Amino acid sequence: MSIFWENAARLLDAALSAARSGSASDSMTVLIGQEGGICVLPDNDWPLDRLARDRGARMAYRVTRENGRIAVSGLDGNNTCRLETEQPASRMKELLRDQPRYFLAGSG
């Protein structure tokens, strides 16, 4: 697996961990420069390709949370990727969807 895909997978894992702890933001952009330096920008809405070009980044990733899903979109030159998964809370809601939320005890 290339470093481009490894970075995307690591970012998705980190976003999942942050969501589990309740401390994740809705969006962030991660830029990796030519020398390997990392720049993290919260809530940036520039198109990823323009932002990477403007900042001289070798690789760029955007992490988003919406509609119960966490996604990582990546860009490395002409290569792109997208990894996506459900947020942990969404999975639990789906698992417990048809379960009663209460228990009635009989009087004895």
Domain count, the chain: 1
Task: Quote the pLDDT of residue 66.
Answer: 85
Give the tens place of pLDDT for each residue, 19-28: 888 766 779 9
101 is a domain residue: no
State the Cα angle at 83 between 79 and 76, rounded to 5°: 20
> Residue 7 domain-assigned?
yes
How far apart, in whole angstroms, are the C-alpha atoms of residue 16 and residue 67? 14
pTM for the predicted model, two decimal places:
0.78
d(CA 68, CA 37): 31
In a domain, residue 79? The reply is yes
61 found inside a domain:
yes
Whose tokens are 């894992």? That residue is 13
Look at residue 10 and tell me if it is in a domain: yes
Rounded CA-CA distance 53/35 in Å is: 15
Question: What is the model's pLDDT at position 80?
Answer: 96
Low-confidence ranges of the chain (pLDDT < 70): 1, 23-24, 88-108
| Domain carrying residue 70 | 3-95
**DSSP-based three-state secondary structure for 67:** coil
- Maximum Cα–Cα distance for the chain, whole Å? 73
Confirm whether 108 is domain-assigned: no
E strand segments, the chain: 27-33, 38-42, 57-66, 69-76, 79-86
**What pLDDT was estimated at residue 91?**
52
Is 105 domain-assigned? no
Question: Considering the domain boundaries, does residue 51 fall inside one?
Answer: yes
